[in-house]
Amino acid sequence: MAALVLVIAVAVGVYGARAHWTRAWSTGGDTASDITVRPARVVPDSVRIKVEVVNATATRGLGRLATAWLRDKGFDVVSTTTAPEMDRRDSSIVLDRSGHPAWAAIAATAIGGARVERRPDSLRFLDLTVLVGRSWRPPSQALYP
């Protein structure tokens, strides 16, 4: 009997948590904790900003976390790589590759105040390159529950 009560309690808890996350995502997140888990989109729906994320640290997985964060913010992250050891950085930087300084500023704000530099890409495949430095901290809560 106790096992049946435990199973029912767990099922109700899982269903309630799932309903909470569904409501938070469908409404865009109305509370501070919902915004942390599912950040508000900062890129307009009609704009596609192609981004390359480079993990410029020795911390494994930091580039992947930054990729998930930027995608949730509305950026189209087309690749994630790791910088060679000699190119590691302490602070993050956003490189404007396509001559759109406003887009670079949006990305710099989204990543938490990175510096912006203009470095054109003659192929125009990418709009921005985000070099994630050691000072960048992922959100305190999980990106995906």
Pair 120, 56 in one domain: yes
Pair 61, 16 in one domain: no
| Per-residue pLDDT tens over the stretch 91-140 | 999 999 999 999 999 999 999 889 999 999 877 689 999 999 999 988 77
Classify residue 103 by burial, with Cβ atoms within 10 Å: 0-12, 13-18, 19+: buried
CA atoms within 13 A on the CB side of 114: 29
Pair 22, 89 in one domain: no
Alpha-carbon distance of 96 to 118, in angstroms, equals 5
| Per-residue pLDDT tens over the stretch 15-65 | 444 444 444 444 454 444 444 456 688 898 899 999 999 999 999 999 999
Pair 73, 25 in one domain: no
Of residues 10 and 60, which shows the higher confidence score?
Answer: 60
Q: Residue 81 above 70 pLDDT?
A: yes
> Hey, what's the torsion of the CAs at 62, 76, 103, 84, to 10 degrees?
40
Is the Cα dihedral 112, 46, 77, 70 positive or negative?
Answer: positive
In a domain, 31, yes or no: yes
pLDDT value of position 12: 47
116 touches 93 (CB < 8 A):
yes
Domain range holding 27?
A: 2-37
Pair 75, 124 in one domain: yes
